[in-house]
Amino acid sequence: MADQNEKILHRLLQQDGNSICADCDSKNLEWASYNIGIFLCTRCCAVHRSMGAHISKVKHLKLDKWEDSQIQRMIDVGNKSARLKYENRVPACYRRPKENDPQILIEQWIRAKYERLEFCMIERPSYTSGRMEGFLMKRGKEDSRYQPRKFVLSGLHDTLRYYVKEKREPKAILRISELNVVYAPSKIGNPNSLQLTFMKEGTTRHIYVYHDDPEVINNWYMAIRCAKLHRLQIAYPSASESDLVDLLTHDFTREGWLLKTGPRATDSYKRRWFTLDDRKLMYHDDQLDAHPKGEIFLGNQLDGYYVRIGAPPGAKDQGYSFTLFTPERVYNMSSHSEQDRDEWIAAIQNVLERPLSPQDNSISARLIRKRGGTNPKNIFTGR
Ligand SMILES: [Zn+2]
C-alpha cells in the first residue's frame, strides 16, 4: 500500500492549488498537514509543528509513512478548498506573506488562519477598526535605549500619536497617510519589531519599536495598513481596492553598508548605512539613526541621473566602487564585494529607468525645499 499512497500523493501535488504551499505560495513542497489536509513548504511546516498537534499534524511527503485515512483526508480537502475555508474573510488590508517575507509575518498569518481562526469568524478583527492603542517599546532618539511609550492610532484623524507621559501632550503626531512601516527584525535585533518612516520638516524620520508579543506587533502593522486603506478609499472612491492595497506599505528595496566619500574627490571614504526606499537613497551613520545624514532623490535617467561602475575621475577607487550621477552632485560609493556592488547598481538602475509618478514629484519637491531652494538647477526643470 505504501507505494500506492506515494503515487496518490504525487498525483495530488499536480492538482490545481496543490502545487504551491498553502500558506506562502512557495513551489518547494515537501510536507503536508494531514489533519487540515494541505500541502506545505518546509518553512511553513515548522510553524505548523510549533502550534502543536492539536492544531496541525504534519508529515513529510516522502520520508514518513502514510496511512490510508490520512491520504483520504488529503484527497478530500487539498489547498484550494482549505483556502476557501481558512481565508474566507481575510481583510483587504492584510498583507498575505510570500515565500521570503519576515518570519513574524509568516508565523502570524499561519496562527491567524488555523489557531485563532481569525478569517473564519464573522466578527472583524480589531485592527480593522481604524483605532488602536497600546504600549510599544520605542528606541530613544538620543540615548538609544528602548522605553515603553503609549501609541494611539486614529484612522478618523489620520494620526498616529505617541506619548512619553500619558496625561501630557503627545510627543509626536504622525500622519498615517504619509507613514510607511516595515518589519525590521535583523536591524533591531528583535523578531517582533517595526520601523516607522515618515517625512518631517523636509527630512525623513525613522522610529524603531518592538513588542514582546508577536501578535501585538503584527496587529499594529496591519492596523496602520487598514487605516491607510480607509483614507485612500475616501480620497479615491472610484479606484479599485486591489490598486489601493498596493499603495499601503512598501518594504525597502535594499539596505546595507557602503563606503562613501564626501563631495570632493580627495575626501576620504566613510562607512555609511544605505537604505534604498523607492526613489530615495538615504545614508546614515548607523543602522538605527533617527534621521539620515543625507537623502538623494533618484529621478529618471532622461533627466541626467545615471549610475556607473568605478570611481569618478580624480577619486580613489577603493574596493568595488560605483558612482551615482545626479544633476546636482556626483556620489562615489564603494562596496565590499563585486556581487554586492552589482546588486546595488542594478537596484538603483531599476529606479532610474522607471517613469516618475505624481507622488515621486511630491517627495522630490519636499526634499528640495529642505535644501532651501538654493540650487537654481531644480531637477524637474526640463531635461
Ligand atoms: Zn510556505
pLDDT higher than threshold 50 for residue 378: no
> 100 alpha carbon to ligand 1 midpoint, in Å?
9
Question: What percentage of the chain carries pLDDT values higher than 70?
Answer: 95
Average pLDDT over residues 103-130: 95
Average pLDDT over residues 209-235: 96
> 67 alpha carbon to ligand 1 midpoint, in Å?
24
> 319 alpha carbon to ligand 1 midpoint, in Å?
39
pLDDT at position 370: 53
pLDDT at position 1: 54
Distance, CA of 342 to chain centre: 22
Distance, CA of 256 to chain centre: 15
pLDDT at position 158: 95
Residue type present at position 305: Y
Residues within 5 Å of ion ligand 1, judged at the Cβ atom = 21, 23-24, 26, 41, 44
pLDDT at position 16: 87
> 29 alpha carbon to ligand 1 midpoint, in Å?
8
**Domains of the chain: which residue ranges?**
4-115, 126-246, 254-366
Q: Write down the architecture of domain 4-115 according to CATH.
A: Orthogonal Bundle (1.10)
Q: Which residues of 95-124 are buried (b: 16+ CB within 10 A; e: fewer)?
A: bebebeebbbbbbbbbbbbbbeebbeeeee
> 24 alpha carbon to ligand 1 midpoint, in Å?
4
> 45 alpha carbon to ligand 1 midpoint, in Å?
7
pLDDT higher than threshold 70 for residue 294: yes
Question: Are the CB atoms for 97 and 183 separated by under 8 Å?
Answer: no
Average pLDDT over residues 77-91: 96
Q: What is the CA radius of gyration of the chain?
A: 24
Residue (of 330, 351, 359, 356) closest to 263 by Cα position: 330
Question: Are the CB atoms for 303 and 383 separated by under 8 Å?
Answer: yes
> 106 alpha carbon to ligand 1 midpoint, in Å?
8
Q: How many CB atoms lie within 10 A of CB 264?
A: 9
> 43 alpha carbon to ligand 1 midpoint, in Å?
6
CA distances to 244, 261, 293 from 240, rounded to whole Å, are 7, 45, 38
DSSP sequence for 265-333: TTPPPEEEEEEEETTEEEEESSTT-SS-SEEEE---GGGT-EEEESPPTTS---SEEEEEE-SS-EEEE
pLDDT at position 368: 58
- Hey, CA dihedral for 147, 159, 276, 361, is it positive or negative? negative
pLDDT at position 28: 95
Poorest-pLDDT segment among 31-35, 135-139, 319-323, 355-359: 355-359
Angle CA 293–330–383, to nearest 5:
110
* HSE, side-chain direction, 13 A CA sphere, residue 40: 25
- d(CA 79, CA 32) in angstroms, rounded, equals 10
Q: Beta partners for 183?
A: 194
**243: exposed, middle or buried (C-beta count within 10 Å: 0-12, 13-18, 19+)?**
exposed
Residue (of 255, 256, 263, 346) closest to 312 by Cα position: 263
Helix (H) or strand (E) holding 230: helix 214-235
> 113 alpha carbon to ligand 1 midpoint, in Å?
13
> 62 alpha carbon to ligand 1 midpoint, in Å?
17
SS3 category, 64: coil
| Per-residue pLDDT tens over the stretch 230-275 | 999 999 999 999 999 999 999 999 999 999 988 776 788 899 999 9
Plot region of 306 (φ>0 → left; ψ -120 to 50 → alpha; else → beta): beta
Q: Cell triple for residue 78?
A: 487539498
N- to C-terminal Cα separation, the chain: 72
pLDDT at position 156: 93
Sole residue written with cell 500619558? 166
CATH number for the domain running over 126-246: 2.30.29.30
Q: Which residues contact 307 (CB under 8 A, 6 or more apart)?
A: 322, 323, 324, 325, 345, 348, 349, 352
- Hey, CA dihedral for 373, 377, 380, 381, is it positive or negative? positive
4-115 and 254-366: identical CATH topology: no
Average pLDDT over residues 115-138: 94
pLDDT higher than threshold 90 for residue 313: no
- d(CA 37, CA 143) in angstroms, rounded, equals 51
Domain 254-366's class?
A: mainly beta
Average pLDDT over residues 209-217: 97
Helix (H) or strand (E) holding 370: helix 358-370
| Per-residue pLDDT tens over the stretch 34-79 | 999 999 999 999 999 999 999 999 999 999 999 999 999 999 999 9
